[in-house]
Each structure stands twice: as structure tokens, then as C-alpha cells.
Structure 1
Amino acid sequence: MSTTPNLAVPAGLHYAPKGILDQHGLRIIHTWLRDTWSRDDHSIAIPSGLSAVQEGCVLAHELEHVWAGDINCRNQIRSTRQERRADLAAARKLIAISGLVEVAQWASDICTAASELMVTERLLEVRLNDLRGEDWLWRRPGGSRIAG
């Protein structure tokens, strides 16, 4: 599965990566390991003990790796690019602009906004940094760490 399917993928709170994985017959393996990876074209391994929000963000990220046909590589530059691309694509799907604008009207900090949007703070930072030039109230100076 190396290409993104031609599906109308809803964004924001309606985006359900676990459902998409199920539709494509991809199995989710919960493991004690700290790292995540796409083991092959049929399964994705994620750490056990994640919250529902964390799991949704991790699955969205890993799904992007599967669709891009990414492989684990020892080349740090290539690996970093793959991670950034997967983060950005996942953030764009998980955080719709309309939802972000709605929450921005009342949320006073990034923690509250992330909670309301049902994403991690880190993924929200990735999305905010994607919208360069906008003065979002909770955008941290210097951006976010999106690699790894």
C-alpha cells in the first residue's frame, strides 16, 4: 500500500484513522516498546498505554507512513524528512481549519485548544507552524520539534 487512496477523507474531529486502517485490513499491534512503526503492509505497531487522543494521533501519523510507502532507513536525513511529512499530513487531517478557528475564539492556551480538538499539543504545534504568517495566540516562539 504505497499510495494514498482516492477517498474523500474528512478532516478534524470526523477523521478516524483507526477506521481507515480497519477498512484496509491493517492490524494494530499494541506493544510495550516505546517506538512505533509500520511492520509491513498489514500491521502497525504502537505503544500500549496511550490515551485515546495519543493513539489517534499516532495512528494518523503511522497511516501516512504506510500510504507513502516509507521504510525504516538508517539515513538520518531521509528519516527526518519522512517523520516531518507524516506529522504534517496527519496534522492537516486531524485538525480542520474550521475547528481550529472556532477553538481559537475562546481557548486561552495550547493545552486547552489541543484538548478541545482532540489532538496532542505537539501535533497542534505542527499544524500551527504549517499556517505560517498567522498570529495564533498559543503559537510558541521558535516553533515545534516535529522530527522523531
Structure 2
Amino acid sequence: MPAAVGNAAEVVHYDPLAELDRMGIPVIRQWLRDTWGAWSPVHRVVILADGLSPVQERCVLAHEVEHILAGDLGCGGVHGLRAERLADLRAARKLIALSDFCAAAQWATSEVELAAELSVTGWILRTRAADLEGGAQWLGTSRIAG
């Protein structure tokens, strides 16, 4: 790995948990059946699935922060699908700086290696890559919907 890129700990700049703390939004961890996380506007709490890795947690929390900032009230129907895509896109932009993406992409030999270097999930990495190629609006929904 080139010295200019550094390790994953040095690349991480955006901390969604700290952002939620600044907003006064608590995070509750519990068993969830069909999703990794959810924003409950009624209770003003983010629910995070038990058992996620630190990278998964970071990506889910970034996604939920974007729902909060957008004022999203639910994820059903066509409006919900659009809200999910926008939350993924905005989270990916905050989690992966363009300079970090470009530097690591020069040496990473796989998507898995690139995602690990950037401390993101494959889904967030693919969302950011599609964004940079102008096609993020066509991505499907993620498991971090909520």
C-alpha cells in the first residue's frame, strides 16, 4: 500500500455517530429482522441492528443521518424509494472523499480491498463509484434502508 494513502484509520474523516450526538439523536442497538438500521422520526431515535461490524455501523449511521437531514418520514412507496437512494448517495459522498477514492483506487486490486481501505461497505463504495460515473440514480435499494 502506498504511504501517501495511509491506512483505513487515517482515511476516515466523517463520523456519523458524532453527528447524531451533536443532533441529540440517540442510537439504540437491537435485533432487527430485515434491515440494518432505521430512523424513527416519531421517537427521534436511530435503531441499529445488533451484530454489525464497525464499518457497517458507520455506513448505516451515515445513511440514517441523511434521512434526518432530509426530513424523511418513511421509506414506503415511490417517495420512499427516492429517499433511500438519496440517503445512500449523500452518505456515500460524505463517507468517501473524492481524493481518498482516487488515491486508493490506483493500487487496490479489488472492490473488497478498496472498500476496506476506505472503511465503507461494498454497497456504499458502489454507490459512490456510480455517482462519480453519473449513474447513481439508477442503483437499487440497499439493506441499510430505514
TM-score clears 0.5: yes
Q: TM-score, normalised by structure 1?
A: 0.80
Moved more, 89-98 or 23-32: 23-32
Counterpart-to-counterpart distance in 2, 1:19 and 1:13: 13
Which residue is 1:30 aligned to?
29
Q: Which has the higher contact order (CA 8 A, sep 6+)?
A: 2
TM norm structure 2:
0.81
Q: CA deviation at 1:49?
A: 0.6
- Please tell me the root mean square deviation across aligned C-alpha atoms, in Å: 1.7
- Please state whether the residue corresponding to 1:14 is helix, strand or coil: coil
Q: Is the 8 A contact 1:28 1:46 kept in 2?
A: yes
Give the conservation status (yes or no) of the 8 Å contact 1:122–1:144. no
Residues 100 and 117 of structure 1 are in contact (CA less than 8 Å); yes or no, is this contact kept in structure 2? yes
- What corresponds to 1:59 in structure 2? 61
Identity of aligned residues (%): 44
Q: Deviations over 1:56-98 (max 9, x none)?
A: 0000000000111101153x21111000000000000000001
Shift of residue 39, structure 1, vs aligned partner: 1.4
Moved more, 24-33 or 39-48: 39-48
| 1:3-82 aligned within 5 A | 13-34=12-33, 35=35, 36-40=37-41, 42-74=44-76, 76-82=77-83
User: Which of 135, 140, 145 does residue 145 from structure 1 map onto?
Assistant: 140
- 1:146 is displaced (CA, Å) by 3.7
Structure with more helix by fraction: 2
Q: Give the structure 2 partner of residue 8 of structure 1.
A: none
Kindly report structure 1 stretches of 4+ aligned residues shifted beyond 4 Å. none
Q: Distance in 2 between matches of 1:13 and 1:86?
A: 19
8 A Cα contact 2:75 2:81, kept in partner: no
SS of alignment partner, residue 72 of structure 2: coil
Where in structure 1 are there 5+ consecutive unaligned residues?
1-11, 134-142
Q: 1:127 maps to what in 2? A: 128
**2:95 paired residue number:** 94
Native 8 Å contact 1:26 1:43 kept in 2: yes
Unaligned runs of 5+ in 2: 1-10
In the alignment, the residues of structure 2 paired with residue 68 and residue 85 of structure 1 have an alpha-carbon distance, to the nearest angstrom, of 9
